[in-house]
Structure 1
């Protein structure tokens, strides 16, 4: 495989050709909440109906295995009702349902410096942007890792905007799909999820496109971001629960949301059931925490470039950002139909570059999946420890992340 691959040789967290979707100046602004609904958890659910009736409300659907329920409320009254409910001793907590945003021998393998960096310069697809030459070996040593394992049989859940059904490099790798948004279908019409999924598990050695970090992995495509790239905390929590129940070993979340007790419970439940969780650290070029990345049971991922330097946009902070991975001009799959990111930013159908910690996170998810498959008796705790302890700390990057830039080859041995 190595010989063939070398011969043949893109939301709030996604940056494409220098355009970032995290807002002006890429500041880490607090996302808004979903109008007309809140999340409530009761200490004694037998009293729920009575408490809710006092406020003219009705019981709502449970949110995964978190114990919280999604309650419909009059739009504009969310904060007022949360304050009132939180004064009732029967209520464990009531909180906003915050908006989740996207954290924004193969034909193009030579453009995949993140997997194998020989210092090559390359052009993207859409506008012939030239990516300057990098530093040899400023990569995750994926080609070397594949001599040990390609991750066969490991399921990685990509909780994102869906995965395109018309890209032959990634669609065949999808073994389960679910929709936790208001979008009509679980097709990826935004583009972010397809790009992320390809980074994880695009088919290798098929003469087209790119190769994923874990080319033997399968993808569970949980659509938690709608066709406009937005989602909800409740939808994400439900997506996490679905991924766990569907057998995912690793969950990737290239997205951002404000702190949520419901979401944190979903994360902790997934961890307790043996799943590795990975999330983007954000594109704020600051130390501001974003979630779910900042939760203890999630591996938070910062971004580097093709010289192993911190990406200019990457959020950082060794106190909470765990590892880093390439996240600048990462080449991967896109839909072969019209998609929002493409229309906004002149992206090509099929394949192109994307930049952001959204791109770095799935590289780490892929490395974690490789580590799962290569160590007998592996657990989520041992896989996380393995990924972190084998990361390479580059001189000068100590303030940015706790463990360094991941190395797949070291993680599988």
Structure 2
């Protein structure tokens, strides 16, 4: 299997390193955080001006619904100012603004082993992929679930690099768009977000591929730039917008984040907590480090963290793992889905316009988001906690690795939608 590289990562798609803004002089930029800004939350907002002036700083914009602000600081002095501000009793916390990166009858349905695993072989542009006869039932039983529901009208927010406007297999599913990435347009010029969105909700339209939840609505929230990276503050803004039920905002019931950062952030955790309190089911990739090291937001308790499996129902070699923080697994190896129909950055890895494969927990996470959307569709009165419980309790716990690599098992859409 060939692996994609994203922002210097060694496994596909969910990355944890990226370039930052240049530091002054000869100082090397720290790749873990955005240069020139930090996140600060005050216990007493009335004291903010005075505290910041002591350090030659001014108040900045609030981030989502967290109460934290993005404070502009001299590049290269981020950590020193965080330390100084943290010593002030008026400051609840100060932290870096961390770099975040991107962790049917349809024509190509036979290439989608994650939805139906029945011994077929096919050729993609990069490899021949075979599902051996007699292989374990490694799919999520999506076809069986569609006999009960296809998720009509359930809104799933994709926080990512955008969703291409020129691939009709997924663009027709988009009902709202927002851009918090800092790029000039919301178009997906990287390719990752379009691939993720297609896994969730590519249409049943006799063309291309099918999503796990083919009648779900997609809320496109671009939080990563055209190089596949972003910042904690941009992710927080995207979460708040996606979870908001205000007119013209996301009003999503499910949020998928196929992205991650190595270090925890109190601002990001609070944004996730606020979305959970608003009734949103939150799903995120566990990361591709091949270790038990935690990735955020996946490791937060209000998030369903997703590891990746292959067509043999085995843990993908690249997938992060650990039953103490990873909740479920889903297919994430050689997943066939939508790509933009215009040039995009991931073509440098040999991907084709329109449709192609990709691997990573970035691909497994939207499978789970789609299953959660189907479960919500068949249990319309369920709370987000109820939907999460259904997804986790109906996962196939007989899959090898359950209890060690992940807590509950590999998800099963059919069992989820028919759960009591």
Query: Which residue of structure 2 aligns with residue 389 of structure 1?
Result: 393
TM-score (norm 2): 0.91
SS of 1:248's partner is: coil
Encode CA deviations 1:295-338: one digit per residue, 9 max, x unaligned.
00000000000111111111111111000000000000000111
CA distance in 2, matches of 1:280, 1:24: 15
Match of 2:270 among 265, 271, 280: 265
Once the two structures are TM-superposed, the CA of residue 24 in structure 1 deviates from its matched residue by 5.9
SS of 1:267's partner is: helix
| Residue 242 of structure 1 pairs with residue 241 of structure 2 | yes
CA distance in 2, matches of 1:295, 1:22: 23
Query: Which residue of structure 2 aligns with residue 13 of structure 1?
Result: none
The unaligned stretches of length 5 or more in structure 1 are: 1-15
CA, structure 1 residues 213+95, in 2 after alignment: closer, same or farther (shift >3 Å)?
same
Query: Which residue of structure 1 aligns with residue 417 of structure 2?
Result: 412
SS of 2:110's partner is: helix
Once the two structures are TM-superposed, the CA of residue 109 in structure 1 deviates from its matched residue by 0.3
Query: RMSD of the alignment, in Å?
Result: 1.5
Encode CA deviations 1:159-217: one digit per residue, 9 max, x unaligned.
0000000001000111111111121101000000000000000001x121001000110
Tell me if structure 2 keeps the 8 A contact 1:22–1:284. no
| Residue 304 of structure 1 pairs with residue 303 of structure 2 | no
After superposing the two structures, state which structure 1 stretch, 366-375 or 391-400, moved more. Answer: 391-400
SS of 1:256's partner is: coil
CA distance in 2, matches of 1:154, 1:355: 26
CA distance in 1, matches of 2:334, 2:311: 9
Once the two structures are TM-superposed, the CA of residue 376 in structure 1 deviates from its matched residue by 3.7
Query: Which residue of structure 2 aligns with residue 318 of structure 1?
Result: 323
CA distance in 1, matches of 2:324, 2:119: 31
Match of 1:279 among 277, 284, 297: 284
CA distance in 1, matches of 2:417, 2:230: 34
1:114-133 → structure 2 map (5 Å cutoff): 114-124=114-124, 126-127=125-126, 129-133=127-131
Query: Which residue of structure 2 aligns with residue 291 of structure 1?
Result: 296
The unaligned stretches of length 5 or more in structure 2 are: 18-30, 245-249
1:102-141 → structure 2 map (5 Å cutoff): 102-103=102-103, 105-124=105-124, 126-127=125-126, 129-134=127-132, 135=135, 137-141=137-141
CA distance in 2, matches of 1:152, 1:28: 32
CA, structure 1 residues 70+198, in 2 after alignment: closer, same or farther (shift >3 Å)?
same
CA distance in 1, matches of 2:190, 2:101: 12
Tell me if structure 2 keeps the 8 A contact 1:119–1:136. no
Tell me if structure 1 keeps the 8 A contact 2:150–2:213. yes
Tell me if structure 2 keeps the 8 A contact 1:308–1:394. no
Query: Which residue of structure 2 aligns with residue 253 of structure 1?
Result: 257
Query: Which residue of structure 1 aligns with residue 247 of structure 2?
Result: none
Once the two structures are TM-superposed, the CA of residue 137 in structure 1 deviates from its matched residue by 2.5
SS of 1:81's partner is: helix
Once the two structures are TM-superposed, the CA of residue 122 in structure 1 deviates from its matched residue by 1.4
SS of 1:387's partner is: helix
Query: Which residue of structure 2 aligns with residue 220 of structure 1?
Result: 219
Query: Which residue of structure 1 aligns with residue 358 of structure 2?
Result: 354
CA distance in 1, matches of 2:2, 2:187: 24
Query: Which residue of structure 1 aligns with residue 87 of structure 2?
Result: 87
Tell me if structure 2 keeps the 8 A contact 1:304–1:324. yes
